[in-house]
A and B are shown apart, each in its own frame.
Chain A
Amino acid sequence: MAETSNFDSSVKIGNAVLKNSVGVASGTFGYGKEYEELLDISELGALFTKAVTLEPRPGNATPRIVETPGGMLNSIGLANVGTRDFFTKKYPYLRGLDTKVFVNLAGSQLEDYCESLEFLELNAPLAGYEVNLSCPNVKCGGMALGTDPFQVELVTRELRKRTDSPLIIKLSPNVTDISEIARAAEAGGADAVSCINTLVGMWIDTTKKRPTLSSITGGLSGPAILPVGLAAVYRVSQVVNIPVVGLGGIMEPDHGIQYLLAGASAIQVGTANFVDPSTAHRVVLGIEDYALRNGLRSIEDFHQFLGKKVVF
């Protein structure tokens, strides 16, 4: 394994150093423990928790999931235990993990985000935060906040005042120009942006003649959205100078490599965790193997091929 030393797989986001570029996406990996028997979590560069809101949320009515061609729609509605129970029930396990844990924060309004973050900074500090400004399945906040550059900058700026830990803003693809939102996050002081969250989608039960999901529309994920995520990462990485975390439809190592080539500094495996829990493990190995075969010495080396600063 002497060759391994030729490739430095680590990634820096803010003041956190991830051992490699591969994480697992929020909402697809619970709070880690759910998958501990299926995957060696210490192999991961990062773990992004299920979204946490200030108060507990029971989530949306059922059905919450429907499979679509090459993908799935979900409308979980941010079901979660809330920050206080996160601290008592999830944090003790998460803090012991040998990976960088990012808490995914969600909310309905600026004050919720601030209060959640303050509580977690004080009681449950982990590697950093991924701020979900882009959930398509909650009535107010979430995506509404994340589609307005002014709001994105404001929320980022307020959260930045409250933490020195890495702050990653998760972007919605359900906008006209995602790079504009990414620039707003950067201007507000974000350490990185992650893109993309799910795409708004719909599925109709033709027997019942009504939408399959209780919430009518949901968020589309899975391999069907891979090209959308790649294009978003490519465009965003052209216009910001902070790391981009790429996600959307990664099922195979090749998909993760495509994100890195598109400009991502780190990636997240999401829906694939449901399909094959060993995906993240395979992607870690596949990236390393690709780097060695292609003489790439770092994740930054992946970025040399598609160029930077292309104007759209």
Chain B
Amino acid sequence: MKGLEVMNQLSLRLRQNENLCGTYFRMEFEWPIELSPPVPGQFLTLRTGRGFVPLLRRPFAFSGFHPERRQAEIIYEKRGDGTTLLSELSAGTTLDVLAPLGNTFPFPKEGRRPLLLAGGIGMGPMFFFAEQLAQRGLNPLLVLGSRNSLQIPILPLFRMVETLIATNDGSRGFSGTALDCLSSYLEASPPEELYELYACGPYGMMKAGSSWAKDRNIQSWVSMEQTMGCAVGACMGCVIRVFAPQVDEGIDDPGSYARVCTEGPVFSGDLVDWEGAIHG
């Protein structure tokens, strides 16, 4: 059996590709028997077609693994040429997948309740992690923020995991951001309770979440996004600014870069230089 750290170029059979809600789609595909299952936080890249436009592979975080049918899944948003092509693929299609890539969400330290902040399409890896935490009896709190009620799926996961829903337009659940929703919920919690925060979603949400956590002495973990070239650590394209030497490359000036594909995508919120230009 190959270890988790080994990446593979795989031909995987697409089993299901459905509209989840609004502009979000869910894709389920066979996972090779000889490979370890993907772990929450990890991602894959795939080709959206066989031609040269779009050219580059697209990265997607794993959103679940179903051991009973040995299938893995991603949740993606249809928003550009590549994801539009992807949404048109039908079951039976063979996908060209590079996986598993990247690191994983660390489990919370003992006695800390995991708080999961999911923003928009960042919901995928948070669902995966929430499920894993719940299975281990670690009682996660999942806060799902979206633009409006149309972008909120209906999932069995919500019966398993305590879930709060926030929408920007107030069309469902809490009216406002996921972080505000979390913050107001915790006001009613016992002050001695300890937490660890996990966030995946828009840059602004993760930046605010990281800062919120820091103010409360809570360890935060964020899953970062950046345009990728190779996704295997070779091209140095998908970097973000961090407050530490880059792990592998040994460039030890302060205000260095780390590769989202290799040192990430999950980083300690404290490590990310949120003021450094990331998305221009």
| A276 to B55 alpha-carbon distance, docked (Å) | 10
Of B21-29, B46-54, B154-162, the one with at least 4 CB within 8 A of chain A: B46-54
Pick from A62, A71, A210: contact of B239, CB under 8 Å: A62
With an 8 A cutoff between CB atoms, is A76 at the interface? yes
Of A25-33, A138-146, A292-300, the one with at least 4 CB within 8 A of chain B: A25-33
| A58 to B252 alpha-carbon distance, docked (Å) | 9
State whether B57 touches A274 (Cβ < 8 A).
Answer: yes
Pick from A30, A67, A70, A81: contact of B251, CB under 8 Å: A81
State whether B257 touches A58 (Cβ < 8 A).
Answer: yes
Of B1-9, B139-147, B186-194, the one with at least 4 CB within 8 A of chain A: B1-9
Interface residues of chain B, those whose CB is within 8 Å of chain A, are 6-9, 47, 52-57, 96, 98, 226-241, 249-251, 253, 255-257, 277-280
Pick from A59, A214, A274: contact of B277, CB under 8 Å: A214
What is the total number of residues of chain A having a CB less than 8 Å from a CB of chain B? 46
Interface residues of chain A, those whose CB is within 8 Å of chain B, are 27-30, 34-35, 37-38, 50, 56-59, 61-67, 69-72, 74, 76, 79-81, 85, 89, 205, 208, 210, 212, 214, 222-223, 251, 271, 273-278
Q: Would you give the shortest CB distance from A208 to chain B, in whole angstroms?
A: 7
Q: Would you give the shortest CB distance from A87 to chain B, in whole angstroms?
A: 12
Residues of B within 8 A of A66 (CB): 227
Residues of B within 8 A of A64 (CB): 227, 236-239
State whether B54 touches A50 (Cβ < 8 A).
Answer: no
Q: Which residue of B lies closest to A208 (CB)?
A: B280
| A70 to B98 alpha-carbon distance, docked (Å) | 21
| A202 to B15 alpha-carbon distance, docked (Å) | 39
15 A–B contact pairs at CB < 8 A?
A: A27-B235, A28-B234, A37-B6, A50-B236, A57-B251, A62-B226, A64-B227, A64-B238, A71-B55, A72-B56, A80-B249, A81-B251, A85-B249, A208-B280, A222-B52
Number of inter-chain CB pairs below 8 Å? 125
Residues of B within 8 A of A34 (CB): 230, 232-234
For the A-B complex with A65-B228, A74-B237, A80-B236 known, give 10 more contacts whose Cβ atoms are closer than 8 Å: A57-B251, A62-B226, A63-B226, A65-B237, A70-B52, A89-B250, A251-B52, A275-B57, A276-B47, A277-B98
Q: A76-B236, A212-B280 are in contact. Are A277 and B9 (CB under 8 A)?
A: yes
Residues of B within 8 A of A69 (CB): 53
Find the residue from A30, A58, A89, A223 having the highest chain B CB count within 10 A.
A58
In the complex, the 10 A-B pairs of residues with the closest C-beta atoms, listed nearest first: A30-B234, A65-B237, A34-B234, A79-B236, A223-B52, A274-B230, A34-B233, A65-B227, A64-B237, A70-B52
Q: Which residue of B lies closest to A85 (CB)?
A: B250
Q: Would you give the shortest CB distance from B259 to chain A, in whole angstroms?
A: 10
| A294 to B58 alpha-carbon distance, docked (Å) | 38
Q: Would you give the shortest CB distance from A77 to chain B, in whole angstroms?
A: 9
Q: A37-B8, A38-B9, A62-B239 are in contact. Are A273 and B234 (CB under 8 A)?
A: yes
State whether B251 touches A50 (Cβ < 8 A).
Answer: no
Find the residue from B228, B236, B240, B280 having the highest chain A CB count within 10 A.
B236
Q: Would you give the shortest CB distance from A90 to chain B, in whole angstroms?
A: 10
Q: Which residue of A lies closest to B5 (CB)?
A: A37
Q: Would you give the shortest CB distance from A112 to chain B, in whole angstroms?
A: 17
Residues of B within 8 A of A35 (CB): 232, 234
State whether A274 touches B235 (Cβ < 8 A).
Answer: yes
